[in-house]
């Protein structure tokens, strides 16, 4: 497999850019915004699997991210587990709860599924808010320790934390990309387009939907654990229902059902959110129209819009067509 | 017998959409189910393919009771079907549509996809080859890369059949394969169904175009108001008084008006 095909070039350029970013940006606050954008992006990649590719509008995503964060935080605080095993267990536990929620909620379809998962999200939030003895209730969990040094690499500096989060973000994109560009991904997209037809084609749609849901919640758990290790404080607001809708917004703005969408949406919107901190509660007044304009002109989000533009330009420049290089990947 | 139904019934509330139908299909046959609109033909297909659970009765496929089996399991066992409203994955190309059709015969899972191991490559290749093969069989090779929404109606009908064939079926249920297409195109679809039979497939179709049915089918079942009112060769059915009454109304009905 050649590394520098035409198809890979933009992606590789972005990876290199993201690697040198901390050397260019010295502003700590800005670094923080980007790290948070990456963490959200990991969770949104999960949402993209179940919603963007499988077409199941799951609305409990922030709840699962909360499960991941609190599991990691509690394992660290109450059992003294270090960040790494806590993170692994948090992902697995979240995915397990995702499986449990999935086998029940995926029996419903369409709006009913959305409402059901929304309720799951609300229940998780309520439990975390009210279970004072375990989760600290409204006071939250304070003093979670960050990742201990892995060999010679310490994660104390902001740069190091940036690379840590970046590593998991790239791993997430890698896994999501491999899943999507395969028979498994085709199966999920088929379910999105027509569940009935997919079933008639001999595919156990329930099993596939559960797989997508478990993978989605696994990513949510991973994002939550990274959040816990990075912020080191957990409050119940992080898993409130409104966070789910923020993630939905990230996904739709970036591009629902596209591989770059979650990253673009999370980065663009968390940057905008931060720069609109001055106007706090009025920021929805700004977000609303942006979203409407986007949905009218770019129904598949920013990345979808980019793809349309790119295709148009390619058609104008037929001389540059190079089908041999472009088609070698299984897609 | 490849497929047989015993006393098969399906009711929706008080309406008996399919009423105690005994029906058998021999291996290698082309059979047709005809009947006036609303006579329960599509419901019969839906019950056989598992979309609806029967209210009573049993379904046997290759001698095995499949009455309670879910839809996908029946397809795995070898029953494929197409829909009246040519259902396809409309935002994909013809080839992509058909590739998914062979997914059921592959075992690629999460781990294979992550590592892109031999099974992954083997299965991707297998699905693509199968898709190209059935597209060629259905006379669609030249349309393979076209988005399915931009192809003519007749080609869509063929894609639907190609998808069904990609599942490696033994029995193919075709729900109005010639609806909404013109005379010449109908002849083309008829030819395709014949070709399927020559390949050893068993075909059961619902169709309103009588010329096509009489031309193709070796055995015909006539449904009316959910009940089987006649069964036999095309000649027998065409000359059956009850059948003619069901389609045209009886003399008694005419007097009532």
Boundary-marking domain end, from B140, B166, B192: B166
- Classify residue A10 by burial, with Cβ atoms within 10 Å: 0-12, 13-18, 19+: exposed
> Looking at residue B79, what is its pLDDT?
94
Residues B199, B250 within the same domain: yes
β-strand pairing of B15-25 with B3-12: antiparallel
Neighbours of B116 (CB within 10 A): 16
Q: Is the pLDDT of residue A1 over 50?
A: no
ipTM of model = 0.87
- B125 and A CB contact within 8 Å: no
Is the Cβ–Cβ distance between A264 and A254 less than 8 Å?
A: yes
Q: How many domains does chain A have?
A: 1
> Looking at residue A331, what is its pLDDT?
36
* Residue the block writes with tokens 């994002």: A223
**Domain-located, residue A63:** yes
- Percentage of chain B beyond pLDDT 70 is 97
A194 vs B87, B99, B127: nearest CB: B87
**Domain-located, residue B83:** no
Range of the domain at A211: 27-148+156-246
Rounded Cα distance between A136 and A140, Å, is 5
**Domain-located, residue B84:** no
Query: pLDDT class for B69, splitting at 50, 70, 90?
Result: very high
* CATH assignment at residue B217: 3.40.50.300
> Looking at residue A318, what is its pLDDT?
61
Boundary-marking domain end, from B136, B166, B196: B166
Q: What is the pTM of this model?
A: 0.88
A204 vs B49, B72, B87: nearest CB: B72
With CA atoms as reference, report the closest residue to A195 among B51, B146, B171, B102: B51
Range of the domain at B21: 1-78+169-257
First-to-final CA distance of chain A: 14
Judge: A182–B83 Cβ closer than 8 Å, yes or no. Answer: no
* Residue the block writes with tokens 């193919």: B172
Rounded Cα distance between A89 and B137, Å, is 51
> Looking at residue A3, what is its pLDDT?
54
With CA atoms as reference, report the closest residue to A60 among A115, A138, A20: A115
DSSP A147: P
pLDDT tens across B191-243, in order? Answer: 999 999 999 999 999 998 888 999 899 999 999 998 999 899 988 888 888 88
Residues B65, B184 within the same domain: yes
**Domain-located, residue B120:** yes
Long-range contacts of A282-289 (CB under 8 A, 24+ apart): A287/A249
Residue B102 CB contacts under 8 Å (≥ 6 apart), including other chains? B126, B127, B130, B131, B166, B167, B168
- A16 and B CB contact within 8 Å: no
pLDDT tens across A149-184, in order? Answer: 877 777 888 888 999 999 999 999 999 999 999 999
Q: Once rounded to an integer, what is the mean pLDDT over residues A93-117?
A: 94
In whole angstroms, how far apart are CA A216 and each of A58, A68, A182, A230, A246? 10, 12, 17, 21, 16
Instruction: Using CA coordinates, name the residue in chain A closest to B78.
Output: A202
Residues B146, B195 within the same domain: no
> Looking at residue A324, what is its pLDDT?
43
Mean pLDDT of chain B: 89
pLDDT tens across B18-56, in order? Answer: 999 999 999 999 999 998 888 899 999 999 999 999 999
**Domain-located, residue A260:** no
**Domain-located, residue A297:** no
Q: How many domains does chain B have?
A: 2
- B71 and A CB contact within 8 Å: yes
- A201 and B CB contact within 8 Å: yes
> Looking at residue A178, what is its pLDDT?
92
- B69 and A CB contact within 8 Å: no
A105 vs A296: which has the higher pLDDT = A105
């Amino acid at each position: 497999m050649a590394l520098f095909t035409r198809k890979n070039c933009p992606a590789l350029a972005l990876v290199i850019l993201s690697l040198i970013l901390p050397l260019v940006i010295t502003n700590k606050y800005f670094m923080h915004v980007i790290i948070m954008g990456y963490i959200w992006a990991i969770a949104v990649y999960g949402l993209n699997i179940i919603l963007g590719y499988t077409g199941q509008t799951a609305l409990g995503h922030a709840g699962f991210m909360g499960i991941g964060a609190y599991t990691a935080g509690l394992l660290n605080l109450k059992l003294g587990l270090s960040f790494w095993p806590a993170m692994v267990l948090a992902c697995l536990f979240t995915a397990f709860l995702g499986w449990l929620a999935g086998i029940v909620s995926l029996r419903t379809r369409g709006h009913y599924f959305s409402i059901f998962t929304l309720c799951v999200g609300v229940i998780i939030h309520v439990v975390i808010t009210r279970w004072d003895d375990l989760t600290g209730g409204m006071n939250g969990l304070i003093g979670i320790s960050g990742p201990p040094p892995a060999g010679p690499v310490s994660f104390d500096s902001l740069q190091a934390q940036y690379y840590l989060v970046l590593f998991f973000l790239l791993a997430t994109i890698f896994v999501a990309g491999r899943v999507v560009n395969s028979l498994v991904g085709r199966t999920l997209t088929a379910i999105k387009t027509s569940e009935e037809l997919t079933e008639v084609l001999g595919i156990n749609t329930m099993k596939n939907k559960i797989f997508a849901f478990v993978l989605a919640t696994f990513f949510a758990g991973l994002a939550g654990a990274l959040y816990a290790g990075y912020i080191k404080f957990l409050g119940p607001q992080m898993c409130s229902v409104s966070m789910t809708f923020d993630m939905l917004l990230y996904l739709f703005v970036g591009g629902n059902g596209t591989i770059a969408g979650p990253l673009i949406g999370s980065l663009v919107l968390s940057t905008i959110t931060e720069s609109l901190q001055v106007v706090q509660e009025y920021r929805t007044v700004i977000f609303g129209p942006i979203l409407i304009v986007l949905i009218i002109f770019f129904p598949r989000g920013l990345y979808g819009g980019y793809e349309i533009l790119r295709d148009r330009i390619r058609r104008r420049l037929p001389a540059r067509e190079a089908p041999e290089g472009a088609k070698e990947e299984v897609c | 017998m490849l497929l047989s139904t015993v006393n098969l019934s399906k009711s929706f509330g008080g309406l008996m959409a399919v009423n105690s139908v005994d029906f058998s299909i021999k291996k290698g046959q082309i059979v047709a189910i005809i009947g006036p609109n609303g006579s329960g033909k599509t419901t019969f297909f839906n019950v056989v393919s598992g979309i609806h659970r029967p209210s009573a009765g049993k379904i046997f496929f290759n001698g095995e009771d499949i009455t309670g089996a879910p839809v996908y399991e029946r397809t795995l066992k070898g029953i494929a079907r197409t829909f009246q409203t040519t259902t396809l994955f409309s935002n994909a190309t013809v080839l992509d549509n058909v590739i998914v059709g062979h997914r059921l015969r592959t075992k690629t899972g999460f781990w294979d996809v992550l590592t892109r191991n031999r099974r992954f490559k083997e299965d991707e290749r297998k699905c693509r080859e199968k898709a190209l093969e059935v597209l060629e069989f259905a006379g669609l090779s030249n349309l393979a890369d076209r988005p399915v929404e931009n192809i003519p109606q007749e080609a869509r009908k063929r894609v639907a059949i190609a998808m069904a064939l990609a599942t490696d079926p033994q029995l193919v249920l075709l729900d109005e394969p010639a609806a909404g297409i013109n005379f010449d195109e109908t002849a083309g679809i008829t030819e395709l169904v014949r070709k399927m039979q020559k390949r050893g497939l068993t075909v059961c179709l619902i169709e309103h175009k009588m010329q096509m049915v009489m031309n193709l089918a070796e055995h015909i079942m006539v449904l009316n108001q959910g009940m089987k009112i006649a069964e036999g060769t095309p000649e027998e059915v065409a000359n059956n008084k009850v059948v003619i009454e069901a389609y045209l109304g009886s003399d008694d009905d005419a007097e009532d008006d």
